Every structure is written in structure tokens, then in C-alpha cells.
């Protein structure tokens, strides 16, 4: 369970990233956070694994206040919160298997990982994860030889290999075309259901949010302006979140193509 209690974040340059956030995310939920760029979605999601550190309030993950975490505590937190990025963040010169095994770093000792001496189960797990996103035939390809969609699947395999309790996905489909976007979202949803991993996804496409989310959190200017199950959401809700009428660019489309 993740609980935001009066969480605020002011960046060193004075920008307010988060303003008095109070949100509870229950285990197993698939939450989509929507909002325009700059609304604080990334800051919200990155606070959970402390890639950014909120400056006020308290943030509880499994009843522990993570804002005080440092060193090994922090690494333990990050080991249980896997992350998927907009730009995939693979090491382009390394092969797919090595990239996926990087998901085990938090579970592996420094010496072991430096000499590539991963446990047999870990390598097996990495291969299983690649199979789950149907990309096991690319195992020895260099990451930069893959297409965008394939790279994002590899990064999902990396997160799976991490065996996290939470998956945070920061705009995972923003660099992809519509059919590939749906494929990636389908994998995320499937993993959420099959492994019961709490998943929080940042999106700015409303149609995709409506299609995949159990619950939608709307953000504007660092504040949560909507929070509710997807059944309560209508077009006017989005107009409220975005503070303007809905346009073509807010839709990803192509749902039937995948």
C-alpha cells in the first residue's frame, strides 16, 4: 500500500512539483495518472521510488515512511518498486539478456554482479520474463538493434525480472505508435492481473487511460484534481483535469488495430 500524506515538493529552483497530495493506492490496483505535461505526474511517480525527494509531508510504502530512507534502505525500496521509462532507458551497447538481468541488481551482491556471476535461477527468471513479453528470440541482440516497441518490451522484462511489488511506468507509450502503445499497455495490464503487482502508469492519452485503468487520478499544476474509479469518469472529467476542452492530440486512437 502506498499512502501520500500531505506530500509537497518544491524544486531547488522554486517550482512547486507537488502541492499537498493525499492519495492512497491499494495493493493490486491499476492506477493511471493523467494530466498535461508539467502537471506533476512524473514528480508524483518518481517520489514513490525516491528518484525525487518530496520536501514536506510523509509518504508511506508498506507502512514505512520512505522520505527518511537513505543508503541500503533506499535500495531495498527501489528493489521492490520497478520502473518503466518513456525512453526505455536500456544500455544500448549491451545485449538484451544483460539489460534484463540488470533488474536483479538490487537482489545481487556487488562482486557477483560485477563478474556476471548471476545465480542460475536469476538467469532463468530473466529468460522467463523475456518469454512473457514474447521477445525471447532477441536475447543476444544489442538493445539498439531493436525497434522502440521491442525495447519497451525488454524494459518491461527487466522490471519483471526485478520481481517488484509495485510497477511505476512513467509515460511508457509516449514514444510509440498507436498499435505498439496498445501492445505495451496490454502487457502491463496482464502483468498487473496475473502477478497482482500494483501498477501506476502516467499517461496523457485519455482514451488509453479509460481503456486500461481501474482508477484514474487527474493532476493539474501539482495538485490532485480528480481521483476515482474509471466508471465515474466522463469527458467532462477530463475537461476539468486539463482545464480546457478535449482535443485530437489527447487521444492515442488505434485501439482496434492491436
Partner 1 sequence: MTNENNSLTSKKVPPIYPAKTKVQVTLIFFVVLGIYIFSMSWTQRQMAGGFGGALGNMFTVIEKFFPPNTAVISAIWGPMVETIQMAIIATTFAAILTVPLAILAAENITTWKPLYILTRTFLNILRTIPDLVLAVIFVGLFGIGLFPGILALVIFSLGILAKLISETIESVDMHPLEAMRSSGGNVFQVIWYGLIPQVLPQYTSLVLYVFEINIRASVVLGLVGAGGIGLILNQQLGFYNYPNAMMIIILIFVVVIVIEYISTRIREALL
Applying CB under 8 A, the residues found at the interface with partner 1 are: 49, 51, 75-83, 85, 87-94, 98, 102-103, 105-108, 110, 113-114, 155, 158-159, 162
Q: Are 161 and 125 in contact (CB under 8 A)?
A: yes
The CB-based long-range contact list for 124-132 (8 Å cut-off, 24+ gap) reads 125/161, 125/163, 126/97, 126/100, 126/101, 126/157, 126/161, 127/97, 129/100, 129/103, 129/157, 129/158, 129/160, 129/161, 130/96, 130/97, 130/100, 130/154, 130/157, 132/157, 132/160, 132/187, 132/191
Half-sphere exposure of residue 223: CA atoms within 13 angstroms, side-chain side: 7
Closer CB to partner 1, 5 or 107, in the complex: 107
CB of 225 to partner 1, least distance (A): 27
Q: Nearest approach, Cβ of 184 to partner 1 (angstroms)?
A: 16
Shortest distance in whole angstroms from residue 170 CB to partner 1: 10
Contacts of residue 116, defined as CB under 8 A and 6 or more positions apart, other chains included, come to 98
Q: Based on CB atoms, which residue is closest to partner 1, 103 or 218?
A: 103
CB of 106 to partner 1, least distance (A): 2
Q: How far is the CB of 238 from partner 1 (least distance, A)?
A: 29
Least gap, CB of 232 to partner 1 (angstroms): 32
The angle, 0 to 180 degrees and rounded to 10, between the axes of the packed helices 120-132 and 148-161 is 140
Integer Rg of the chain from CA:
18
Name which of 174, 175, 172 is nearest 184 in CA terms: 172
Amino acid at each position: 500500500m502506498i499512502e501520500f500524506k500531505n506530500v509537497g515538493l518544491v524544486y531547488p529552483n522554486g517550482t512547486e512539483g507537488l502541492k499537498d497530495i493525499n492519495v492512497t493506492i491499494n495493493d493490486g490496483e491499476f492506477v493511471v495518472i493523467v494530466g498535461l505535461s508539467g502537471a506533476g505526474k512524473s514528480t508524483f511517480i518518481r517520489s514513490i521510488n525516491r528518484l525525487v525527494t518530496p520536501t514536506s509531508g510523509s509518504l508511506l510504502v508498506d507502512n514505512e515512511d520512505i522520505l527518511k530512507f537513505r543508503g541500503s534502505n533506499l535500495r531495498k525500496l527501489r528493489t521492490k518498486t520497478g520502473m518503466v521509462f518513456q525512453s526505455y532507458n536500456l544500455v544500448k551497447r549491451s545485449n538484451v539478456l544483460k539489460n534484463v538481468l540488470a533488474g536483479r541488481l538490487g537482489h545481487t551482491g556487488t562482486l557477483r554482479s560485477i563478474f556476471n556471476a548471476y545465480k542460475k535461477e536469476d538467469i532463468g527468471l530473466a529468460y522467463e520474463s523475456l518469454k512473457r513479453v514474447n521477445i525471447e528470440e532477441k536475447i543476444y541482440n544489442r538493445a539498439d538493434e531493436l525497434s522502440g516497441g521491442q525495447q519497451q518490451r525488454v524494459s518491461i522484462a527487466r522490471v519483471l525480472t526485478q520481481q517488484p511489488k509495485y510497477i511505476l511506468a512513467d509515460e511508457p507509450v509516449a514514444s510509440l505508435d498507436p498499435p505498439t502503445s496498445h501492445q505495451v499497455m496490454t502487457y502491463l495490464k496482464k502483468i498487473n492481473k496475473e502477478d497482482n503487482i500494483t501498477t501506476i502508469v502516467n499517461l496523457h492519452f485519455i482514451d488509453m487511460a479509460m481503456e486500461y485503468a481501474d482508477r484514474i487520478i487527474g493532476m493539474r499544476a501539482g495538485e490532485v484534481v480528480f481521483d476515482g474509479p474509471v466508471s465515474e469518469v466522463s469527458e467532462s472529467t477530463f475537461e476539468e483535469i486539463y482545464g480546457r476542452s478535449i482535443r485530437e492530440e489527447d487521444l492515442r486512437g488505434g485501439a482496434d488495430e492491436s
